[in-house]
A and B are shown apart, each in its own frame.
Chain A
Amino acid sequence: METVLSIHGLTKDFGKLRAVNQLNLTVQRGQVFGMLGPNGSGKTTTLGMLMGVVNPSAGQYSWFGQPPTPQLRKKIGAVLEHPIFYPYLSGQKNLELMAMIKEAPTENISKVLDIVELSARKNDKYKTYSLGMKQRLAIASALLNDPIVLILDEPTNGLDPMGIAEIRDIIKKIAAADKTIILASHLLDEVQKVCSHFSVLRQGQLMHTGPVDEVGKGEELVEVVAFHDDLGILLQEFNGSATVKREQNHFVVMMKDGYHSNDLNRFLFDKGIVASHLLTKKKTLEKQFLEILADNTKSKV
Chain B
Amino acid sequence: MLQLLKIDLKKMTSYRTFWIICGLYFFLLVVGAASGMELLKWLASIIQGFGQAININRIPLYHFPDVWQNLTWAGGLIKIALAIMTVISITNEYTYRTIRQNIIDGMSRKEFLLSKVMMNVVLSLMSMVALFFIATITGLIYSLELDFPYGFTGIGFFPAYFLEVFAFLSFALMLGIFLQRSGLTIIILLSASVIELIIKAKVDNYFPEIIPYFPLESISNLVPMPFARYAFQEIRDVVTLSSILIATTWTLLFNYFSYLKLEKSDL
Q: Which residues of A contact B (CB under 8 A)?
A: 48, 51-55, 70-74, 78, 80, 84-90, 93, 96-98, 100-103
Contact = CB atoms under 8 A, between A and B. Distances in A.
Given A84-B100, A84-B101, A102-B106, 16 more contacts: A48-B266, A52-B103, A53-B104, A55-B266, A71-B106, A72-B106, A73-B103, A73-B104, A73-B106, A80-B100, A84-B98, A88-B16, A97-B7, A100-B10, A101-B7, A101-B106
Contact of A74 (B6, B11, B105, B266): B105
A97 B98 CA distance: 11
B102 to A, nearest CB: 6
Interface residues of B, number: 24
A70 B108 contact: yes
Interface in B1-58: 3, 6-7, 10-11, 14-16
Contact of B267 (A54, A87, A102): A54
B7 A100 contact: yes
Given A53-B267, A70-B111, A101-B107, A84 B6 contact: no
Contacts of A71: 106
Contacts of A85: 96, 98, 101
A168 B252 CA distance: 50
A99 to B, nearest CB: 10
B108 A84 contact: no
A142 to B, nearest CB: 10
B103 A102 contact: no
B106 A53 contact: no
B103 A51 contact: yes
Contacts of A48: 266
B107 A53 contact: no
Contacts, number: 69
A183 B106 CA distance: 20
B119 to A, nearest CB: 14
A87 B102 contact: no
Nearest to B115: A101
Contacts of A93: 10, 14
A74 B3 CA distance: 15
B104 A78 contact: yes
Contact of B14 (A55, A70, A89, A101): A89
Contacts of B106: 70-74, 101-103
B266 A101 contact: no
A74 B103 CA distance: 9
A94 to B, nearest CB: 9
B97 interface: yes
Contacts of B7: 97, 100-101
B264 interface: yes
A291 to B, nearest CB: 34
Nearest to A126: B96
A55 B267 CA distance: 9
A72 B103 CA distance: 12
B6 A100 contact: yes
16 contacts: A52-B103, A53-B103, A72-B106, A73-B105, A84-B96, A84-B97, A84-B100, A84-B101, A85-B101, A86-B98, A89-B11, A97-B11, A98-B105, A101-B105, A101-B107, A102-B105
Contacts of B108: 70
Contacts of A53: 100, 103-104, 266-267
Given A53-B267, A70-B107, A70-B108, A101 B102 contact: yes
Contact of B10 (A54, A70, A72, A97): A97
Q: Which 5 A-B pairs have the closest CB atoms?
A: A74-B106, A84-B101, A73-B106, A70-B108, A53-B267
Contacts of B267: 53-54
B67 to A, nearest CB: 40
